[in-house]
Amino acid sequence: MFKKLNILDEKDKRLRIKSVPYTGPVSDEEKELVERMIQHLTYSQIEEYELKYDLRPGTGLAFPQLGINKRLIVIVDEYEKGKFANYVVVNPKIISHSEEMIAADAGEGCLSVNRDVDGHVPRYARVTVSGLDLDGNPIKIRAREELSIAFQHEIDHLNGILFYDRINKKKPFFSEKEMRLL
C-alpha cells in the first residue's frame, strides 16, 4: 500500500535548521520511513506511478524535508532505464571532491520547492562521501556527475541550505566554456 510522504515546503523554517548527527542507532520507525522514502522516490521516477499517485519526479530526500532534524539522506538513482540503485547514508560527509565544477544544464529542482528556479548550481563533478549505513556500519561512496550533484544537494539540506542559495544572483547562468554542463 503506497502512502505519499508529507514533504515540507520551502517556506517551512525547519528546512533552514542545521540537522543534528546521529549518536545512536537508527530507530525501527525511522528505518520504516526510509523504506517509504525509497518507494516514493522510485515511484516518482516511473511514469506510470508518477501519474497514478500524482508525484513530482525526485532523486533524493533528506530527513529535514520530512520535519526530522537528523542527518540522514536517501538517494534513488535510476542508473539504467528501470534499474535503480538506493543510497541511504547516516551522518554523510563529503571527505574529498574534484576540482572540476559542473552544473545541471536545466538547473536543479527540489521536492520542497514547488516552483521553477532559473540558474545553474555549481557543484563538484566528483565527490567521495563517508557515513554509516542503517545498521551503523561505516560506508564510503564515490559519486560522479548527476549522482555527485544529488549527494551535494541532499547534504546541503542537512545544513539548512536550499539549492537556489548556491545560484549566483549576479550571474545565474554559465556557458560551456566556464563550466561543464550536464
Is the pLDDT assigned to residue 1 strictly greater than 90? no
Is 154 an active-site residue?
Answer: yes
User: For the chain, what percent of residues have pLDDT higher than 70?
Assistant: 100
**Average pLDDT of the segment spanning 135-144:** 98
- Backbone angle region of 110, left / alpha / beta, with phi > 0 → left and psi within -120 to 50 → alpha: beta
- Residue 148 to residue 124: CA distance in whole angstroms: 7
Band the pLDDT of 170: cuts 50, 70, 90: very high
Task: Classify the C-alpha dihedral 103-39-4-72 as positive or negative.
Answer: negative
- Residue 88 to residue 132: CA distance in whole angstroms: 8
**Average pLDDT of the segment spanning 122-136:** 98
Average pLDDT of the chain, as a whole number: 97
The answer to whether 71 touches 86, Cβ cutoff 8 Å, is no
The residues near 121 (Cβ < 8 Å, ≥ 6 apart) are 103, 104, 107, 108, 149, 153, 163, 164, 166, 167
The answer to whether 108 touches 149, Cβ cutoff 8 Å, is yes
**Average pLDDT of the segment spanning 152-178:** 97
pLDDT digits (tens, 9 = 90+) for 7-54: 999 999 999 999 999 999 999 999 999 999 999 999 999 999 999 999
Counting every residue written for the chain, the total comes to 182
pTM tops 0.85, yes or no: yes
- Residue 57 to residue 109: CA distance in whole angstroms: 9
List 50, 154, 176, 178, catalytic entry: 154
